[in-house]
Structure 1
Amino acid sequence: MAEDDTQTAAPQTTGATGPNGAAQTQKAPNMQVLGQFIRDMSFENVAAQKGQTMEGSPDINVQVGLDARKRQQENQYEVATKLTITAKKKGADDAIFVMELDYAGVFAIQNVPENQLHPYLLIECPRMLFPFLRRIVSDVTRDGGFPPLNLENIDFVTLYRNEIARRAQAQQAAPTAQA
């Protein structure tokens, strides 16, 4: 059975009226996943290298980075989710394992207004890739000799808002630092 990674929706009426009083229709956003791939991945089993065994449940730290760029083809974008996962023994500084994963997807996106494209790329596209990314993390940690790590859902909306707020704060602080 083949999977279809395409999301489509019928045109929707916005409720706005044009100059002649007729209702205008605006097509719903359309996203098609053209491809997805691992750009870079590493898994380091630090505990095995040091001859240690894992006892109990470790502290897991997951750092997420997002990146998007336009491709040369019209309406195509590459969106990458970068994870750095570090597991440590509770109360210790030594890592048990470290995993870095740079997972990307190529998307064809249509009917998204220019002012909404940036949040769409950094929220909706990573959301579409997340189940595949989660599976890779689970498989690699299991194959690395640990219980499979099943990542909790990532709130990409909150990540996006926090990054926008951080950038605004950095811009405000920049002129002050130069003075």
Structure 2
Amino acid sequence: MADETPEAGAAAAPEAAAQQTPPQLKIRTQYVKDVSFENIAAQKGFTPTTPPQIKVGVNLDAKKNGDNLYEVILTLKVNAEAADQPVFLMELDYAGTFEIENVPDAQMHPFLMIECPRMLFPFARRIVSDMTRDGGYPPVNIDPIDFIALYRNEILRRQQAQAAAAPSGTA
């Protein structure tokens, strides 16, 4: 048998591992924060003769609720029109409470706006599908959302708005 001797760097390995702990994300709760389905066509006695045009709006919000606890809200607004007449309007605020650890402060905002909504989306998508079906229409199956692109577009929009609002420095 060969003698086993610890390497010189072996003692430093546990300290390095402790410093490089990977991010941890735990979903504490998921819930419908607010939901509304307005069947406009049925209320007005309007029967669409053509398939409605569906528009989906997405909004995100997040806030800190305590040590390592964050609430993230995914808002989906589904608007259907046929022949320039409103058919239905559905709004859903689907939220989750997340416990997040080992994410640097500089990376927390993108983490909240990308990773957390990505986890909530399949559940919100199912609710939209069920509600539109229960409202008497074919189920609306929302296409997957690229939360990275959505985040980047919002950052770009904010930068452009700040640049437009800033007074010009030329005399």
TM-score under structure 1 normalisation?
0.82
CA distance in structure 2 between the aligned counterparts of 1:145 and 1:176, rounded to whole angstroms? 52
Q: Give the CA deviation at 1:39.
A: 1.2
Alignment map for 1:9-158 (pairs within 5 Å): 24-25=16-17, 26-71=20-65, 73-89=66-82, 92-158=83-149
Q: Which runs of 5+ in 2 are unaligned?
A: 1-11
CA distance in structure 2 between the aligned counterparts of 1:130 and 1:138, rounded to whole angstroms? 12
CA distance in structure 2 between the aligned counterparts of 1:148 and 1:55, rounded to whole angstroms? 17
Greater mean alpha carbon deviation, residues 79-88 or residues 21-30: 21-30
SS at match of 2:120: helix
SS at match of 1:147: coil
Q: Deviations over 1:8-61 (max 9, x none)?
A: xxxxxxxxxxxxx86833111111000011111110111101112233321110
Q: Deviations over 1:97-141 (max 9, x none)?
A: 000111110000011111110000000000000010001001100
SS at match of 2:22: coil
SS at match of 1:142: helix
Runs of 4 or more, structure 1, over 6 Å off, are none
TM-score under structure 2 normalisation?
0.86
CA distance in structure 1 between the aligned counterparts of 2:148 and 2:106, rounded to whole angstroms? 16
SS at match of 1:165: helix
Q: Which has the higher contact order (CA 8 A, sep 6+)?
A: 2
The one-letter amino acid paired with 2:158 is R
Name the structure 1 match of 2:165.
174
